[in-house]
Structure formats: structure tokens, C-alpha cells
Structure 1
Amino acid sequence: MSVQLSNRICLSLLNNGCRSLSLFSNSSPSNWSKVVSDAEKIVGYPTSFMSLRCLLSDELSNVAMQARKLVGTKHPLLNTARGFVYDSRNNLQMRGLVVLLMSKAAGPNTAAEACLQQDMVSGIYPSQRNLAEITELIHTAFLVHRGIVNLKEWTNSDGPLKDMQFGNKMAVLSGDFLLANACTGLAQLNNTKVVELLSSAIGDLVQGIYYENSIQGEENNMTDDIKIASWEEQAFLSHGALLAKSCRATLELAKHDVEAQALAFQYGKHMSLGHKLNSDLQPFLKDSSSDAVPFSLNLAPVVLHQETIGREGWTHQIDQARPKGRQADYAKLWRAIKAGKGVSSAIDLCCYHGNKALEAIKRFPPSEARSALENIAFAVTKF
């Protein structure tokens, strides 16, 4: 789909009040499932269960047996484990699918085929399929690590303290096991540039999550004056670096030139940022403030709203929504943000990143894989 058409649709959404729901929400799983199903047919690989080969190993099977102790608690490791099998909202396996599609969209490098010594299957080299699995393992490892509970905030309703402590130990060990398997597979690719790219992506994830954790305890208090540039930088570290660098790495495995690798990187980067903006917009696409629930003050629409009205105006709105000694009125704050330009600016920014992803992928030769990547990038800007 053309960038111009995408822009027109985004403008139409703004004029209609942005009332439709995200493609990534549970309200429209059939559309998203079709995008994924069509893409999987193109790459000839059912990525919906890409991580299960490692997850069903003897070591993690033993961990799964022990996980039964967490049943009845609110430990997030249980929800993370359920998501490995089926999660229509977050689509845990999409990173690997995008890497495979990028591999096929770029195609073989005829000039370097002699030195690759690999036979392509469905237009993808075996090393590129291995990289897609490694990307998923890294992502899954960090998802598991994020499921560690802050025991300082533990309450009796969460579950017995000893079970929550046990769940934390399992989250650490399971995440470490997956990450170790990913690093082993990475070394077996025998490509120092790819190792360097994925290693730096792991470092970016750590840095991004560290930043998230550092503000988590005060994310619903008055935070520092955050600019959208800082938000984008942090979002790239936490949500975009792994996909962007994996897209670049898969073209490095096929010995494509630096220009093609840069385009692949740009696609992964902008598609990830568009997806994060889509996710941040969800609390503000409801029809009324009665549906408003507590939300982070570090979401993109809030950051853009704060930039628009200035620090003084934002402080005044915070004080009005949160009188001293009383619980915060998120419905009031929600209405203030909806009345401003933060939401429309976030939609504009989401469309911008979606269009930049489309621009990058259109530089590749026309193919089914390229069309699938275009559909995925366009889906990110659908509300």
C-alpha cells in the first residue's frame, strides 16, 4: 500500500475521532490472524510455536512441573507462560516472522552464493531461520525476566510469600536458560558481525528495561519533564533494537550490501516504534472517561500532551487530578489529555513511523514477502 494512501487513511481516522480499535486488540483477532497466517505461508514456517522447541526441552519441562506451585497466585510468570502458546493481543512470535519475511524479501545474493554453501528452503537460508529462532528466544527470555515480582509491594492477595519468591527464582533461572541457548545458537552462526549486532541488541534491551524499572516506582507521580525525543530513544532500546538489528543481521548472513542492511534496519526500527505508539494510544481510544483506568504518565500521548501545554500547565492539571490526601482521579486526567493535542499528535507520529517503514521496504524488489511486510507495517497504524 502506498505511503500516500496510508496518510489519507490516517487523516480519515483523525477526522472520525479515532473510534476504531487497534488491530492488536482482542476485539479484532481475526484480521490480525489472517495477516499472520498469510505471512507464515509465504515463509513456509509456522512461527506461532517458534520458541516451543526450546521451551519443551527436558530442563524447562522440569521447570514447568514446578510451576504448578504458582497456580492460585498472581505471579506474572503464569500469564507469560500462557502467552507462549497463544496470545492474540501481543503476538509473541511476530519478531521471528518479520525476520523470515525480511530474509525472503531481500532474496539470495547471487554474488555471494558460492561462499555461503547453504541451500535455500522457501527462499530462506537455514542460518536465517536459526537467526529468527534466536531473536524469539532473546525476546522470550526478557519477557520471562520481566515477570519478576517486586516483593516489597507483595500483598496477601497475590499469593503466599514463599510461592512468590519461588516464582521469582524460576523467572530468573528460566530466562537465563533461554538467553544462554540463544547465545549458543548465535555463536554457531559463525558470523562475528551478526554476533556483534545481536549482542548490542541484548545490551540495548538491558538498558531500556533498566530505565523502565527506574521510573516504575514513580511513573504515576510527577515525573521529570520528558520530551518525545527521549521517549522515542527509550522505546527503541526496549522495543525496537532487537527487531531492527535482527533484520539487519539476517541480510548480513546472506552477504547483502550495506545499503540493503540499512533499509532492513530502518524497517525494523520504524515498525517497532509504530507498534509501541499504537499500544500507548489504546487507553485514549475509548469512547468515554467512565472507561478510564489508571495509566502510566510516560505513555506517548501523555508526553506529547505535556509538551504541548508546557510544564506549568501540566503541573496544574496533575494537581487538579490529584488533590493532597486523595486518590488520583484518572478519569479527570484522561479527559484533560483527550481535550488536548497529545492523542492526535501520537497518531500522527504513529503514521509517520508506519510510513517510514513502508518507504524502507518498498526499496526491495516486489514479492509476496515484501507485500506481507507492507501489510504488517500498515497494520501498526490501524486504529
Structure 2
Amino acid sequence: MTLLFGRKTCDRLIGRCVRRLNLFSTPSPSNWTKVVSDAEKIVGYPTSFMSLRCLLSDELSNVALHVRKLVDTRHPLINTARGFVFDNKNNLQMRGLVVLLISKAAGPSLAADAPLEQDMVSGIYPSQRNLAEITELIHSAFLVHRGIVNLKDWTTSDGPLNDMQFGNKMAVLSGDFLLANACTGLAQLNNTKVVELISSAIGDLVQGIYYENNRTGEEINITDDVPIGSWQDHTFLSHGALLAKSCQAAMELAHHEMRSQTLAFQYGKHLSLGHKLNSDVQAFVKENTCDRTSFNFNSAPVILHQQFVGREQWICEINKARSRHHDAGYSELWRIVKSGKGVDSAIDLCHYHGNKALEAIKCFPPSEARSALENIATAVTNL
């Protein structure tokens, strides 16, 4: 990573990003920056780049030396690497911070076999901090793995074929390295239930990505009839399971009762679903048009629009738009969805999940940590 940017550049970007974090695409980035800054003070240190310790290891630095060959290509591994330091799409990793906040909000357990309260640092057990780092590493590994090019879609403008093949190999190896480190740390927690929870979350991620990849073909996307309930189930697997189960695992490490574990799980689940809905809606509330690369047939507003107008009407709209435009009518379809009920319904659903996340943490005693979690959940609904 350092070799991609240079040590001084990397350090400068890290400092800049800690000040400019913006997980959710909200209309007021400055307010969100304050939410994150306050939250990181509560847990004791900046958490936004906790995975960088592994990313800047000698092993991955050697990989980065080879990855420099891809700088003049369009291989997504380059953007993924840069995204770990600064993401122009305002989607930096915050899972670790949420895990730490919910750990502190719950406080020490009253169970007889609970860890000693004097072992806590800033109200958080060392094992919970390790879990937060493990969560970030797993997410980072999957981000790297997803940066693999489908060579069937390769064109000469993307870069030399040999370089693209090499980039795919580096993406697989780098992602495997991060995942292996996460699994090693997971085993060192010495908690069977936590291992089961996080292992199942990894399985959920794989299954969720499989669903996404299985519906990326253009014709399949058009003919699929996916109800919003199924959309939420699949989205939870790929975007929510890791955070939800990590929040639950944090409660287990402190030996909290099952009720607290369930509510922590619900907070992570609804926060993640709200975030995805927020992200899907942005293309319709902040953009004036769209093209083939940005229009997503599987986004929540499109799925909900199809449910409102009916499957036959939706296919008819697609065919008409395609027959009128050389670009397959994506801009026309975007206008159709934007003028329908799908966008407002997606916003309502986003508010619903934000409110459910707020309800889940009402059981925790009032504290700065709980307030920070409430602020994060509120940010999800800020559309």
C-alpha cells in the first residue's frame, strides 16, 4: 500500500481522511464528520483505518510493489487499494467503530463468569477491540476479492491482457492474506460461539455475493422478478450479516445475556440495510441523469418500481426505452423510475430501518456511546 502512494503521501491521506470521514452519503458531510470524530473520541482512538496495520505489513508491501504494474490500467484493484486510504464515493469502512461503540454502550456484564471490569480500556474489553479489527480485515478482504476483472468483458482500453490477468492473481492473493490474518485473530479470541458467528458471517458474504453475481447479466436483470422482501434478504447477506453478527459477537465476548446479543444483532442488521437503501436512493435524488454504468436494475428503487407498476408493465417500459435510444435507454428508464413511486418507497423503507436500529439500542443505559450509535442510525435516514 505504501509503495503505491509513498509513505509521506499515505500518512498525509490518513490524517486527512480521519478528519473527512463520511460513511453515509448525507446532504451535510460536515455534520457527519463531527459525528464520526466524536464517536472515535468515545472509543479511545481513531478506528477508521484499523485494517491499515495489516495492509502496511511487509507481506502486502511486497505485493504492492508488484501491483504498481497496474497503475496505467483500469484494473479495479488499483482503486480498491486507494479506497482504503481515501474513497471519493464517501463509503469508508466504519464497521469496527460501530462494534466498539456498541461494546461500550452495553458496558460490563453482571454475569459471574464475565471478564474483569478492570481489564477494560475506555470501557471496552481488549477482546472486543480485537474483534473490531477482525471485522474490518474480513470486510477489506472481500473488497479486494471483489476487485477481480471478468476477462470476458476485457477490452484493449482497460490495459494489456497479461496485466489484467496478473491483477486478478494479486487480488486473490491479497484478499486471501487479509482473510487468513482475520481468521488467525478470530481463533485467538478463544470463544467458540464468536468463531461460529463470524464464520457464518463469512459464509453469508459469499452467498450474498453469489446472488449478486448470478444476476449481473443484462438479460437476467431485466427478466428477474425479485420482491423487495427477497431483495432485503439478499442484501443482508452481502451487506449486513458481518456487522450484525460482529455486534452480537461483541456482546458474547463480554458475556452479556441473549437479549442484549439479539438487540445488538438487530442494530447492526437494520443499520446496514438502511445504509444500502440510502446508497441506492442517491442515484435518483442527487443525480440529474444516469448511464449504463450507473443504472442498476437490482437497486431498491427499481425493484420497488417494478412491484408498483407490475412485471409486464416494467418489461414494456424497458423495451420501449431501448427501442428509442442507442444507449439502451438507461436515461429514459432512470426518468421513469424517478417519476414513479419506487424512490419514495425506498426512502420510507430507509427511514423504517433507521428507526428499527434506534429502537434496538434503547435497552442500553444512556451514555455517550449510545448517543453516538443513535447519531449514526439517524444519519442513515438523512436523505
Q: 1:183 aligns to what?
A: 183
Task: Verify the 8 A CA contact 1:197 1:246 in the aligned structure 2.
Answer: yes
- Structure 1 pair 168/28, CA: closer, same or farther in 2 (3 Å)? farther
Amino acid at match of 2:380: V
Q: 1:293 aligns to what?
A: 291
- Structure 1 pair 301/235, CA: closer, same or farther in 2 (3 Å)? same
CA distance in 2, matches of 1:114, 1:376: 28
- Structure 1 pair 97/378, CA: closer, same or farther in 2 (3 Å)? same
Look up the SS of the partner of 2:245 in the other structure: helix
Q: 2:150 aligns to what?
A: 150
- Structure 1 pair 114/262, CA: closer, same or farther in 2 (3 Å)? closer
Q: CA RMSD in A?
A: 1.9
The CA deviation at 1:48 is: 1.9
CA distance in 1, matches of 2:108, 2:26: 37
Q: 2:362 aligns to what?
A: 362
Task: Verify the 8 A CA contact 2:104 2:123 in the aligned structure 1.
Answer: yes
Q: 1:17 aligns to what?
A: none
Matched, 1:49 2:30: no
Task: Verify the 8 A CA contact 2:271 2:354 in the aligned structure 1.
Answer: yes
Residues 211-290 of structure 1 mapped to structure 2, 5 A cutoff: 211-218=211-218, 221-286=221-286, 288=288
Q: 1:67 aligns to what?
A: 67
Q: 1:6 aligns to what?
A: none
Q: TM-score, normalised by structure 1?
A: 0.90
Q: 2:171 aligns to what?
A: 171
User: How many aligned positions are there?
Assistant: 360
Look up the SS of the partner of 1:176 in the other structure: helix
Q: 2:6 aligns to what?
A: none
Report runs of 4+ in structure 1 exceeding 6 Å deviation.
none
State the identity as a percent.
76
Uncovered stretches (5+) of structure 2, i.e. residues with no partner: 1-21
Deviation per residue, 1:66-98 (Å, 9 max, x gap): 111011111111111111112263443300000
Uncovered stretches (5+) of structure 1, i.e. residues with no partner: 1-21
The CA deviation at 1:222 is: 1.5
Q: 2:83 aligns to what?
A: 83
Deviation per residue, 1:313-361 (Å, 9 max, x gap): 1111111111299431122111211221101100000000000000001
Amino acid at match of 2:282: Q
Task: Verify the 8 A CA contact 2:104 2:369 in the aligned structure 1.
Answer: yes
Higher relative contact order (CA 8 A, sep 6+): 1
CA distance in 1, matches of 2:148, 2:348: 35
- Structure 1 pair 220/101, CA: closer, same or farther in 2 (3 Å)? same
CA distance in 2, matches of 1:90, 1:268: 19
Amino acid at match of 2:122: S
Q: TM-score, normalised by structure 2?
A: 0.90
- Structure 1 pair 169/146, CA: closer, same or farther in 2 (3 Å)? same
Look up the SS of the partner of 2:327 in the other structure: coil
CA distance in 2, matches of 1:40, 1:88: 21
Q: 1:8 aligns to what?
A: none
The CA deviation at 1:29 is: 3.3
- Structure 1 pair 115/24, CA: closer, same or farther in 2 (3 Å)? closer
The CA deviation at 1:28 is: 4.4
Q: 1:15 aligns to what?
A: none
Task: Verify the 8 A CA contact 1:354 1:377 in the aligned structure 2.
Answer: yes
Task: Verify the 8 A CA contact 1:337 1:343 in the aligned structure 2.
Answer: yes
Q: 1:329 aligns to what?
A: 329
Task: Verify the 8 A CA contact 1:140 1:178 in the aligned structure 2.
Answer: yes
